[in-house]
Amino acid sequence: MEEGKMDENEWGYHGEGNKSLVVAHAQRCVVLRFLKFPPNRKKTSEEIFQHLQNIVDFGKNVMKEFLGENYVHCGEVIQLPLEFVKQLCLKIQSERPESRCDKDLDTLSGYAMCLPNLTRLQTYRFAEHRPILCVEIKPKCGFIPFSSDVTHEMKHKVCRYCMHQHLKVATGKWRQISRYCPLDLYSGNKQRMHFALKSLLQEAQNNLKIFKNGELIYGCKDARSPVADWSELAHHLKPFFFPSNGLASGPHCTRAVIRELVHVITRVLLSGSDKGRAGTLRLGLGPQGPRVCEASPFSRSLRCQGKNTPERSGLPKGCLLYKTLQVQMLDLLDIEGLYPLYNRVERYLEEFPEERKTLQIDGPYDEAFYQKLLDLSTEDDGTVAFALTKVQQYRVAMTAKDCSIMIALSPCLQDASSDQRPVVPSSRSRFAFSVSVLDLDLKPYESIPHQYKLDGKIVNYYSKTVCAKDNAVMSTRFKESEDCTLVLHKV
């Protein structure tokens, strides 16, 4: 990229999250990722450069090691002309969703990350002329805490995502409760995964986006977004899944197309396509905790039918979901067990503030940082070193709980080679595919007290409202059956 000759007209708004905003090049397969900040909380250029460099280093030295070379794209930090950034910011402002405008794009430092555009397969520099479909999933936390430090019994039964849904709807973030449960997606059980993906398609929130040739065609910006339209989605997808037949339109066609999509995504998610360094994942955390979430409509319906809970995770070890789950499980103690350890580190830092650097709280995220993460002991010897290791593992786990997976699918001819990319078949076509992971920014040390408070809020809200309602329903049913018994007695 020739940073000196940048023209804002060649770039377009692509998307944003809570902390960064992404613009995509119209022809080349690259994106620029800028940091965002609340107004009046600007950082110096040097701080922004360091922040971005830390993101790159963390990707290279930690996440590539855990998740595998092929899945992680670290990009590079680049310096852009300030005039270009200012003009770009003005150009894209009208396309930003209102709910994200509480933060401003950083136009002062001139630094950004340059990354491959993952919605257009991994061709990096130039767009392929083949059509490309890309599904982005933010799967969230795929396990129920197994730590003995958990005090709320509910946390051993219902996963955080399902509990959090109720708070999100109550605060107006989303319109309705999703039927998606991360434990279904991470189960490795095809039926449960199909259910999870269909649920995401029904209520995408910020957990699912679909791009066609790099353009967003399906996804939800906020609670005001229009209700998802499956027939419109099927219209976009039909040429990919039924390329040469005249499948009639209408609800039958829509269902067939959605089914194909769900099946292909499941296959891709279960594939172990990482041909990078063997044995990258050195965690080896075994399956722990309950294998189903009691709030998942899938497991609820199984229970109602008197069926057993499904098999424990059958995720193949090479697949990205398995690896992501392993990194998430570095949260060995749960925030309830972690918070006192965070306080221990805090007390130490209050006494020895100059030690912050040695403890690598704000980086560098190098090989030494990575090596310390591999210590999975939970035996607290009362030291700051132990507390620090658990704090750093927690930050990494939280990062993996909030990352997204990008699946790019490009149709290939029945017997043509796919440039050595793996291929997934559907009923009527085949796709060369790639899987990548994005948003691997290490969660800040400072966010731990917020996590602790939020955790309590989520559980308390769920327990008070949902469980109270469930109990009311149960007692009504109980009352009904008592009434019934009385009637029977009378007879």
Ligand X SMILES: Nc1ncnc2c1ncn2[C@@H]1O[C@H](COP(=O)(O)OP(=O)(O)OP(=O)(O)O)[C@@H](O)[C@H]1O
User: Would you tell me which residues interact with ligand X (CB under 6 A)?
Assistant: 14-20, 22, 31, 33, 115-119, 136, 209, 402, 404, 438-439, 441
Where does this chain touch ligand 5MY (CB under 6 A) — which range of 13-21, 190-198, 237-245, 369-377?
A: 13-21
Q: Are 349 and 302 in contact (CB under 8 A)?
A: no
User: Does the protein bind ligand 5MY through residue 176 (CB under 6 A)?
Assistant: no
User: Does the protein bind ligand 5MY through residue 171 (CB under 6 A)?
Assistant: no
Q: Which does 189 bind (CB under 5 to 8 A by kind): ligand X, ligand 5MY, none?
A: none
Tokens 């990062």 -> residue? 399
Give how many residues touch ligand 5MY by CB under 6 A: 8
Q: Are 159 and 183 in contact (CB under 8 A)?
A: yes
- Please provide residue 346's backbone torsions phi and psi, each rounded to the nearest 5 degrees: -60, -45
Cα-based angle 392, 395, 399 (whole degrees, multiple of 5): 140
| Residue 400 CB, nearest approach to ligand X (Å) | 12
| Residue 381 CB, nearest approach to ligand X (Å) | 35
In terms of Cβ atoms closer than 10 Å to its own Cβ (0-12, 13-18, 19+), residue 124 is middle
State which of positions 385-414 bind ligand 5MY (CB under 6 A). 398, 402
Where does this chain touch ligand 5MY (CB under 6 A) — which range of 17-25, 264-272, 276-284, 321-329?
A: 17-25
126 bridge partner residues: 28
Helix axes 190-202, 297-304, angle to 10 degrees: 130
**Structure tokens, 220:** 């939800």
Measured from the CB atom, the residue of 184 and 260 that comes closer to ligand 5MY is 184
DSSP, collapsed to helix, strand or coil, labels residue 206 as coil
Q: Largest Cα–Cα distance of the chain, in whole Å? A: 91
Which one among 378, 447, 471, 475 touches ligand 5MY, defined by CB under 6 A?
447
Q: Which does 447 bind (CB under 5 to 8 A by kind): ligand X, ligand 5MY, none?
A: ligand 5MY
Which one among 19, 43, 91, 156 touches ligand 5MY, defined by CB under 6 A?
19
Q: How far apart are CA 85 and CA 33, in angstroms?
A: 12
Q: Are 52 and 35 in contact (CB under 8 A)?
A: yes
| Residue 409 CB, nearest approach to ligand X (Å) | 15
In terms of Cβ atoms closer than 10 Å to its own Cβ (0-12, 13-18, 19+), residue 219 is middle
**Structure tokens, 224:** 């005001």
| Residue 410 CB, nearest approach to ligand X (Å) | 15
User: Does the protein bind ligand 5MY through residue 157 (CB under 6 A)?
Assistant: no
Tokens 């902390």 -> residue? 19
Which one among 165, 206, 389, 429 touches ligand 5MY, defined by CB under 6 A?
206
Among candidates 180, 163, 188, which has minimal Cα distance to 220? 180
Q: Which does 20 bind (CB under 5 to 8 A by kind): ligand 5MY, ligand X, none?
A: ligand X
User: Does the protein bind ligand 5MY through residue 264 (CB under 6 A)?
Assistant: no
User: Does the protein bind ligand 5MY through residue 175 (CB under 6 A)?
Assistant: no
Q: Which does 443 bind (CB under 5 to 8 A by kind): ligand 5MY, ligand X, none?
A: ligand 5MY
Measured from the CB atom, the residue of 29 and 341 that comes closer to ligand 5MY is 341
**H helices within 271-413, ranges in order?**
297-304, 320-328, 334-351, 367-372, 384-401
User: Does the protein bind ligand 5MY through residue 182 (CB under 6 A)?
Assistant: no
**Structure tokens, 47:** 């701080």
Measured from the CB atom, the residue of 18 and 383 that comes closer to ligand X is 18
Q: How far apart are CA 116 and CA 57, in angstroms?
A: 17
Q: Which does 115 bind (CB under 5 to 8 A by kind): ligand 5MY, ligand X, none?
A: ligand X
Measured from the CB atom, the residue of 29 and 388 that comes closer to ligand X is 29
| Residue 444 CB, nearest approach to ligand 5MY (Å) | 8
Query: Which residues sit at the interface with ligand 5MY, rule CB under 6 A?
Result: 17-19, 206, 398, 402, 443, 447
